[in-house]
């Protein structure tokens, strides 16, 4: 029985294709229930000119409500999720998303609140955001933050635009931003979007920023550096204080990519390391559900001297009137970055998580994320050595290179792991490691789960030697087996069309 087909009745008979909702459509069937217009108003023909009217309605599915419910229930069962099993996808922090946060966000006082409601009608929301901001500023060691960015990449762009505004204010023309070669792809992409050029510096044999290479790259054309710390290899940048000194010396700013903040929260703070700008991924560190690819929330924090550039409106407290309000009167602001106030529903969930854990809980989260990663690292180190030696933080990058001699690749390991009941780690990232397997077990997995995962990986290493085809043919238990990606790009089909 496959990992995705354990629940009775979800198995799709061999050879049968799971239909699209459009293929279940039968003319005349309906799920919708809406009232008659019922008021004395002109007809549509009278209200809307003929050339603005839709000639034929869109060909949406016509299904009964039960058709709809079964389709999406069964479709959901063709998907792995944290609630289904372990999901050690490196860099993504797939930890348990507490249910209480779902109840919180669904409270009508939050879910029914309209973003154009006057501040006086939204004091609860503003107070919640104010408390969340204060807590996140304390956790990062920063002065102020904006909760507008909807995800990490939007936070990155916001931070770079603030960096840009800062240099402009200093009347300093700069064109380059330094990023390590192990950085997430969003970093260089955000730099380009900010109108700058990304310049890579190499990692040294410790897997850390090469200080000599950095020294050479730094000059007064450099606007700043973007660093993930711990970096994408799961290693803490030990020289961070020195790096900060070097970058500040040439007038540059330090940007902290918070993708891995979950491994240090409560233990050390980007602000104390010298960072000027910090984004967090609340969907990672603060345990909000990742939604099959989003939503996230990517708040962006800054030090005192950059506060005036934050996106507007800025959440403020009116001492005299004892009320919260959105302050739009911010002449140096880079402007608005989101249609409204960011992913508020996600911020409510992050707040709920924060209030559930408290200071001790948050610290314990980081400690156990690091404990779990190191435990797993040690258990599989013989078969899958790490690319760089030593203790890792919340994740580590192992390599499947030793299996190459059996004709087995990292992707084969990943696919076989699926048959053994686990979501694979991130494969082939970061780019600096050959046959990379980036593993992040997260703190919410138990010792038994990690033992099982390690046993599966070690079994796979053994199978690579004894029965490599088992790996090449994996997975065999899933609704789809190694779908052809090249074919998808060659014969592009990105929407269903009726026969």
Partner 1 sequence: MDFLPHTDADDRAMLEAIGMSEIADLFEPIPAEVKLDRPLDVPPSLSEPELLEHLAQVAARNLGAGLTGFAGGGAYDHHLPSAVKALASRAEFATSYTPYQPELSQGVLQAVYEFQTSLCEIYGMEVANASLYDGANALTEAVNLTVRATKREKALVGATVHPHYVDVLRTYTAGLELDIEVVPFGDDGTVDWRSVDTSDAACVVVQSPNFFGRLEDVTAANDVAHGGGALAIAVTDPTAMGIIAAPGDQGADVAVGEGASLGNPTVYGGPYVGFFATKLDLVRQVPGRIAGETTDADGKRSFVLTLQAREQHIRRSKATSNVCTNQTLMAIAATIHLAWLGPGGLQRMGELCARRTAFAAGLLAEIPGCSIRFEGPRFKELVLETPVPGHDLSAALARRGFLAGPALGRWFPELDNCVLIAVTEKRTEDDIRGLVEAIEKEMAER
Tell which residue, 271, 2, 5, has the closest CA to residue 138: 271
Of 161 and 218, nearer to partner 1 (C-beta) is 161
Of 246 and 465, nearer to partner 1 (C-beta) is 246
Q: Is 427:408 a contact under the CB 8 Å cutoff? A: no
Beta bridge partners of 277: 255, 302
**Angle between helix 99-106 and 344-380 (nearest 10):** 170
Which helix (DSSP H) or strand (DSSP E) does residue 434 occupy?
none
Min dist. Cβ of residue 275 to partner 1 (A): 10
Min dist. Cβ of residue 19 to partner 1 (A): 10
Min dist. Cβ of residue 296 to partner 1 (A): 4
Min dist. Cβ of residue 404 to partner 1 (A): 21
Residue that has been written with the tokens 């030090």 in this structure: 303
Of 446 and 465, nearer to partner 1 (C-beta) is 446
Of 389 and 465, nearer to partner 1 (C-beta) is 389
274 Cα distance to chain centroid? 24
Min dist. Cβ of residue 320 to partner 1 (A): 19
Which helix (DSSP H) or strand (DSSP E) does residue 223 occupy?
strand 222-228
Beta bridge partners of 303: none
Of 1 and 34, nearer to partner 1 (C-beta) is 34
Of 114 and 171, nearer to partner 1 (C-beta) is 114
Min dist. Cβ of residue 91 to partner 1 (A): 10
Task: Give me the sign of the Cα torsion angle 183, 300, 223, 312.
Answer: positive
176 Cα distance to chain centroid? 26
Number of other CB atoms surrounding residue 305 within 10 Å: 12
Min dist. Cβ of residue 308 to partner 1 (A): 15
Of 4 and 403, nearer to partner 1 (C-beta) is 4
In sequence order, the 6+-apart residues with CB closer than 8 A to the CB of 340 are 115
21-24 contacts, C-beta under 8 A, 24 or more apart: 21/61, 21/63, 21/68, 21/71, 21/72, 22/59, 22/61, 22/496, 22/498, 23/496, 24/61, 24/63, 24/67, 24/71
In sequence order, the 6+-apart residues with CB closer than 8 A to the CB of 396 are 233, 234, 373, 374, 376, 377, 386, 438, 439
Of 194 and 214, nearer to partner 1 (C-beta) is 194
Residue that has been written with the tokens 């809980």 in this structure: 361
Min dist. Cβ of residue 487 to partner 1 (A): 5
């Amino acid at each position: 029985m496959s990992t995705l087909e354990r629940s009775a009745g979800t198995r799709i008979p061999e050879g049968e294709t799971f239909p699209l909702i459009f293929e279940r459509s039968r003319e005349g069937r309906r799920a919708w229930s809406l009232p008659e217009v019922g008021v004395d108003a002109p007809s549509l023909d009278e209200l809307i000119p003929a050339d603005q009217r839709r000639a034929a309605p869109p060909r949406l599915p016509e299904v009964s409500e039960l058709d709809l419910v079964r389709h999406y229930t069964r479709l959901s069962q063709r998907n792995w999720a944290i609630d289904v099993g372990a999901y050690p996808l490196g860099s993504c922090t797939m930890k348990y998303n507490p249910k209480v946060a779902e109840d919180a966000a669904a409270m009508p006082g939050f879910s029914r609140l309209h973003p154009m409601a006057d501040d006086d009608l939204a004091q609860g929301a503003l107070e919640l955001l104010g408390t969340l901001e204060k807590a996140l500023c304390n956790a990062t060691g920063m002065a102020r933050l904006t909760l507008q960015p909807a995800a990490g990449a939007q936070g990155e762009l916001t931070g770079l635009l603030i960096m840009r505004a800062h240099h402009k204010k200093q009347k300093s023309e700069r064109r380059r931003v330094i990023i390590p070669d192990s950085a997430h792809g969003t970093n260089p992409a955000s730099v380009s979007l900010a109108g700058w050029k990304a310049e890579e510096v190499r990692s040294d044999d410790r897997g850390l920023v090469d200080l000599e290479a950095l020294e050479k790259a730094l000059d007064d054309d450099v606007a700043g550096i973007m660093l993930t710390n711990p970096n994408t290899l799961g290693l803490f940048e030990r020289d961070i204080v020195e790096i900060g000194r070097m970058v500040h010396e040439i007038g540059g700013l330090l940007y902290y990519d918070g993708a891995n903040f979950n491994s240090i929260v409560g233990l050390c703070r980007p602000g104390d390391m010298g960072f000027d700008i910090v984004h967090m991924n609340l969907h990672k560190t603060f345990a909000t559900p990742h939604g099959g690819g989003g939503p996230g929330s990517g708040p962006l924090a800054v030090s005192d001297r950059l506060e005036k550039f934050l996106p507007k409106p800025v959440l403020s407290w009116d001492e005299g009137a004892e009320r919260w309000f959105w302050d739009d009167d911010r002449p140096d602001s880079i402007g608005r970055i989101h249609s409204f106030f960011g992913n508020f529903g996600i911020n409510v969930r992050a707040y709920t998580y924060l209030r559930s854990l408290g200071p001790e809980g948050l610290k314990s989260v980081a400690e156990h994320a690091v404990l779990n990663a190191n435990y797993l690292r040690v258990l599989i180190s013989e078969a899958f050595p790490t690319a760089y030696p030593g203790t890792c933080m919340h994740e580590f990058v192992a390599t499947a290179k030793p299996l190459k001699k059996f004709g087995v690749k990292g992707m084969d390991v990943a696919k076989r792991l699926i048959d053994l009941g686990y979501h694979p780690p991130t494969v082939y990232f970061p780019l600096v490691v050959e046959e990379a397997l980036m593993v992040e077990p997260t703190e919410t997995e138990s010792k038994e789960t990690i033992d099982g995962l390690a046993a599966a990986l070690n079994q796979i290493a053994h199978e690579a030697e004894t029965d490599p085809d088992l790996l090449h043919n994996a997975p065999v238990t899933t609704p789809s087996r190694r779908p052809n990606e090249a074919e998808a790009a060659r014969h592009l089909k990105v929407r269903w069309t009726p026969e």
